[in-house]
């Protein structure tokens, strides 16, 4: 361990808090531990009790430290939710004389593009380079060595609420963990679940959490869209609770055990037992009733996703399709509904690229934590990667 460096991803979700740890040694990254705890201190996706959040983080970190026999002092942290916004912008760098472009020129042009005027309580979370324009000629992915006098960087800037962001960082600090960097959660999930060749064919990553659904859209290395949509995992559970007259906890259990996001994939005519309040006899209802409720909400979710894709002209150009991550993606039939509404392939994301990643957490719910750990490893090797997401960053700062 002496020559190794720990890389830690901390996914502080509003439902579950997950931590994944890997070790970087001789340019190899392998899994060494993970832990998970139910979250506390969140109300409708907003951090309402920083002390409670810090306590959950402390418990999660202590558990993974005990399992892996390590000591953790820093982590890369994910952030999502309705306060996230993305916009395209550009930065112009006039050289003054014609000369060959080098890496520092690309970096400076990206920095200029990121210096946008923000509304009060907004700050830049990440900057995702798209491509470069050289002396009016657009579409350069890596113009190093090209002679020019005028360089423009086209970037996608992801911003967040300064208050929400700082509150999250403070909660992590109060758990005695330093924050290496913060990353938009679906971008982290993409880092773990999407290979470069997949991005080249066009792909969208949809991270469905309990209180937020966030997405990123890629066309090649360029991030075209980062945003949050209105429908999240708890909407499904709330619909079941209301429609079947059960408690929220019982609705969640019914959704997980019997639910499906599209009719026809399960035995819809079979009967399921519906929990009743104490003192009342259990009830039965056709499984179709439950799945009708879930199907309507799933269709609404992917209609929002389709609208987001249409904003950047990618509603008919996702050759690799949609990749679903997050706990909400685990609902049976979600991929089928995505394919039906968006008319492109869909699959659940799985973490790839970490040696020894265990089967027990090889699912969509752990993609964000895995991606954050992988990005933490990247930060350890190239500290200058500050606040730039995977993609053209390799060309800018190589």
Non-local (6+) Cβ contacts of 366 within 8 A are: 18, 20, 34, 351
In a domain, 186, yes or no: no
Count: domains in the chain: 2
- Do residues 207 and 272 both lie within one domain? yes
Write the burial class of residue 69 (CB in 10 Å: 0-12 exposed, 13-18 middle, 19+ buried): exposed
Question: Distance (Å, rounded) from C-alpha 76 to C-alpha 6?
Answer: 11
- Do residues 293 and 221 both lie within one domain? yes
Question: Distance (Å, rounded) from C-alpha 308 to C-alpha 162?
Answer: 24
- Do residues 148 and 200 both lie within one domain? no
pLDDT the model gives residue 237: 96
pLDDT the model gives residue 389: 42
Largest CA distance in the chain: 85
- Do residues 201 and 131 both lie within one domain? no
pLDDT the model gives residue 88: 92
Question: Distance (Å, rounded) from C-alpha 208 to C-alpha 206?
Answer: 6
- Do residues 146 and 236 both lie within one domain? no
Residue 291: CATH number of its domain: 3.30.420.40
- Do residues 132 and 218 both lie within one domain? no
Running along the chain, 398 residues long, what does each successive block of 10 average in pLDDT?
A: 75 95 85 96 90 97 95 95 92 92 93 89 92 92 92 95 95 96 96 88 94 93 92 95 93 95 88 82 89 97 96 90 95 96 95 93 96 92 47 39
In a domain, 48, yes or no: no
* Count of C-beta atoms within a 10 Å radius of residue 278: 5
- Do residues 104 and 221 both lie within one domain? no
Strands (DSSP E) found in 13-146: 16-25, 28-38, 42-43, 46-47, 74-79, 85-100, 122-134, 137-140
- Do residues 139 and 206 both lie within one domain? no
Coil, strand or helix at 73: coil
Coil, strand or helix at 168: helix
What pairs with residue 77 in β-bridges?
Answer: 10, 182
Q: For CA atoms 306, 88, 13, 9, give the dihedral sign.
A: positive
Q: For CA atoms 238, 243, 248, 250, give the dihedral sign.
A: negative
Question: Distance (Å, rounded) from C-alpha 4 to C-alpha 2?
Answer: 6
In a domain, 305, yes or no: yes
pLDDT the model gives residue 345: 95
- Do residues 330 and 209 both lie within one domain? yes
pLDDT the model gives residue 156: 95
- Do residues 242 and 336 both lie within one domain? yes
Nearest to 221 by CA among 306, 128, 159: 128
Question: Distance (Å, rounded) from C-alpha 190 to C-alpha 203?
Answer: 9
* Count of C-beta atoms within a 10 Å radius of residue 4: 15
- Do residues 285 and 211 both lie within one domain? yes
In a domain, 91, yes or no: yes
Write the burial class of residue 102 (CB in 10 Å: 0-12 exposed, 13-18 middle, 19+ buried): exposed
In a domain, 364, yes or no: no
Non-local (6+) Cβ contacts of 181 within 8 A are: 76, 77, 375, 376, 379, 386, 387
pLDDT the model gives residue 4: 62
Boundary residue ending a domain (133, 160, 187): 160
Residue 97: CATH number of its domain: 3.30.1490.110
List the domain range (segments joined by +) for residue 137: 85-160
- Do residues 215 and 129 both lie within one domain? no
Nearest to 260 by CA among 288, 241, 229, 232: 288
In a domain, 224, yes or no: yes
In a domain, 63, yes or no: no
In a domain, 288, yes or no: yes
């Amino acid at each position: 361990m002496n020559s190794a460096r720990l890389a830690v991803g901390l996914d502080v979700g509003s439902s579950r808090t997950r931590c994944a740890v890997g070790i970087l040694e001789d340019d190899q990254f392998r899994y060494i531990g993970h832990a998970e705890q139910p979250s506390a201190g969140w109300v409708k996706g907003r951090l309402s009790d920083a002390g409670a959040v810090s306590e959950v983080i402390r418990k999660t970190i202590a558990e993974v430290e005990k399992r892996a026999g390590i000591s953790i002092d820093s982590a890369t942290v994910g952030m999502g939710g309705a306060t996230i916004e993305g916009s395209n912008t550009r930065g112009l760098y006039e050289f003054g004389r014609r000369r060959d472009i080098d890496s520092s020129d690309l970096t400076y042009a990206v920095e200029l593009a990121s210096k946008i005027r923000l509304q009060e309580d907004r700050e830049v979370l990440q900057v995702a380079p798209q491509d470069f324009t050289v002396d009016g000629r657009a579409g350069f992915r890596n113009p190093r060595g090209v002679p020019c006098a005028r360089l423009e960087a086209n970037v996608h800037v992801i911003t967040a609420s300064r208050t929400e962001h700082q509150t999250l960082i403070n909660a992590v600090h109060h758990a005695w963990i330093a924050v290496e960097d913060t990353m938009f959660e679906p971008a982290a999930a993409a880092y773990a679940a999407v290979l470069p060749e997949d991005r080249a064919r066009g792909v969208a990553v949809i991270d469905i959490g309990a209180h937020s659904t966030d997405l990123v859209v890629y066309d090649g290395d360029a991030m075209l869209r980062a945003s949050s949509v209105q429908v999240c995992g708890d909407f499904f559970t709330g619909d079941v609770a209301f429609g079947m007259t059960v408690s929220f906890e019982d609705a969640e259990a019914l959704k997980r055990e019997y639910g499906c996001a599209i009719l026809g994939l399960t035995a819809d005519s079979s009967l399921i037992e519906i929990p009743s309040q104490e003192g009342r006899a259990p009830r039965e209802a056709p499984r179709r009733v439950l799945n009708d409720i879930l199907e309507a909400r799933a269709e609404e979710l992917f209609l929002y996703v389709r609208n987001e894709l249409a904003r950047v002209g990618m509603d008919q150009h996702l050759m690799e399709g949609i990749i679903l991550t997050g706990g909400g993606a685990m609902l049976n039939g979600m991929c089928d509904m995505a394919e039906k509404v968006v008319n492109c392939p869909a699959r659940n994301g799985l973490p790839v690229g970490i040696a020894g990643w265990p089967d027990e957490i090889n699912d969509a719910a752990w993609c964000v934590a895995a991606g954050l750990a992988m990005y933490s490893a990247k930060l350890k090797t190239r500290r200058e990667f500050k606040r730039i997401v995977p993609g053209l960053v390799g060309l800018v700062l190589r």
